[in-house]
Structures are given as C-alpha cells and as structure tokens.
Structure 1
C-alpha cells in the first residue's frame, strides 16, 4: 500500500521535488467537536484536506476534500493560517514525490451528511477537544489544530508560517 511519510527538520528526509498548494479544513459542530479522519495512508488522525485542483478556488477545494474524505458537506467560515515550513517534507511512496509543506487551513461548519469513511479515511468521527491529544497525529497536524484552539481561547488572528 502507498504510504505518506512526514519528515520535520530531519537530515534523513528526501530533498523536496514538488510544492503543491493544499488545504486543510477544521470543521466544528454545535457541540464544539472537530471532524477528524484516521488516514488510510499513515494511520494518523488528521482534519480533512488535500491538494487544490487547477480551476478550483481555495473554498471549493476545501468543501470538495471534506466531502470526499468524510461524507460531510461544509460551509467555510474562516481562516486558521498558512503553513509553508520548508523543513516539513512529505514523502509519498507510491510515486516518490517529496513535497514541501504548503497548506492553508480554513474553518468550517457542517451543513449536511454523516461521517462516512472513504478510500482516504479508515475512520471518520467527531472528536472532543479533550480527546484530541490522545489521538496519534503528525506534528504539523497538532500544530494546526493547536493554533485553531488557541484562536478560540484568546482571539488571535491567522497564523502565518
């Protein structure tokens, strides 16, 4: 099976050979829970997201990726931040792509659907704020979710990095 391997500030990381604008979406329900997936390619928990396709806007990509990975249709509500750290390299073993991080993280609310796994997600569910730390996630995903939670607590603006 194809795998996704994340490297951060690792001298063993492959040299990046691509840069692909991507989006992640932090969807929250009325109970304040976050919609999360357990990824099929690395078994880590993450918020939905993926590459922005040609001819597609950032919000269109966010809505499409969320629906494809979770079964939930969402409405975009805001911006968490941009994440472009060149020390974060993502290796896709299926084709040898070594991608430098480039992700814009948006917030959203659900408008329809039920959590449903896909080819990209082994499990999809609403996760309480208290439960997030107990889930296995990549460092970059924890950072993004942490910035979102901080913004709820102290009204900070978007994170640029």
Structure 2
C-alpha cells in the first residue's frame, strides 16, 4: 500500500468572498472602484481572510470600502460563480445589513473611488460596469424578501458577533 504522505494532494480551492446588501429606503450602498484599469460597481465585498469568520469579513469589508459601520441582519444567499476577471471559481456569501454610522473621513481601500447610494434602476443602468452578475442577484434576493438566519453560519476559528 502506498504511503499517503507521498501522494500529492490536489484540491480545487475557490475564492471565498463576502458581500453586503445595505439598503436605505429604495437605495443601496455601492462602491465605485478601479478594477484592472476599468471602472466597476459592486456591493461592499471582498475576500475572507485566514482565521476570520464570514460575518466578521462582511463587516470589515463594508467598513474598509465605504466608511460605513453596519449591522448584519440576514444571510441572503450563497452564490457560486466563475469570475470573468480571473477565471477562478468564486463562492460568495451575501448578507443583508442595515447602516449604523458613517465616517466620511475614513480612508477607503486602494482602488475604491467612492461609496455611493443608488436605486436598483440606477444599478441596472450601469450594465457592463457591474463587477459581476452577483450584484443584481443579491439585490433581487433582498427585494424578493429572501432572508436566512445568521445562526446558520458557525465559526470555530474566530470570535464572531453572530454565532
């Protein structure tokens, strides 16, 4: 029998990302960002860091990209997609959040030009400038009333405000 430590382990690993749909009336918090030399629009979103819970990542990314502190209310969905930017698989956890406070003096992440509030119609009008099809998918999930409790997610690696 072969020694399993001598067999190279090849496991496909998708990018794990988080995003927040933050609504204020009929407007949604969006980021305008420079991506590979083009202007793109997205929800506050980003990659999960090693040792970080999904909910902590969603709160962190929203603050870093918009200056907004938010409270997570629900999980909207888990979406799988193959990125047209880099060709890799992406698994995105989308959250619904409510705005709590804003720090207009906070320096935003590199590449982020500004945080803006847009209606769904204004977001649809951006067309190919949307960073991915997951932007509208998440907003439409929110608008249709799709809500899942945060307690579905568990992290054994990090402190988490939303066990």
What TM-score does the superposition give when structure 1 sets the normalisation length? 0.70
CA distance in 2, matches of 1:108, 1:132: 18
Determine the structure 1 residue equivalent to 2:110. 119
Q: For the Cα contact (< 8 Å) 1:79–1:107, is it kept in 2?
A: yes
For residue 33 of structure 2, the aligned residue among 39, 46, 57 is 39
For the aligned residue pairs, the C-alpha RMSD in angstroms reads: 2.1
For residue 69 of structure 1, the aligned residue among 65, 68, 71 is 65
Poorly superposed stretches of 4+, deviation over 3 Å: 114-118
Q: For the Cα contact (< 8 Å) 1:75–1:110, is it kept in 2?
A: yes
Q: For the Cα contact (< 8 Å) 2:80–2:91, is it kept in 1?
A: yes
* 2:95 is aligned with 1:106: yes
Flag structure 2 segments of 5+ consecutive residues without an equivalent. 1-11, 149-163
Aligned length: 130
Determine the structure 2 residue equivalent to 1:20. 15
Flag structure 1 segments of 5+ consecutive residues without an equivalent. 1-16, 93-97
Give the match's secondary structure for 1:102: strand
What TM-score does the superposition give when structure 2 sets the normalisation length? 0.70
For residue 76 of structure 2, the aligned residue among 75, 80, 84 is 80
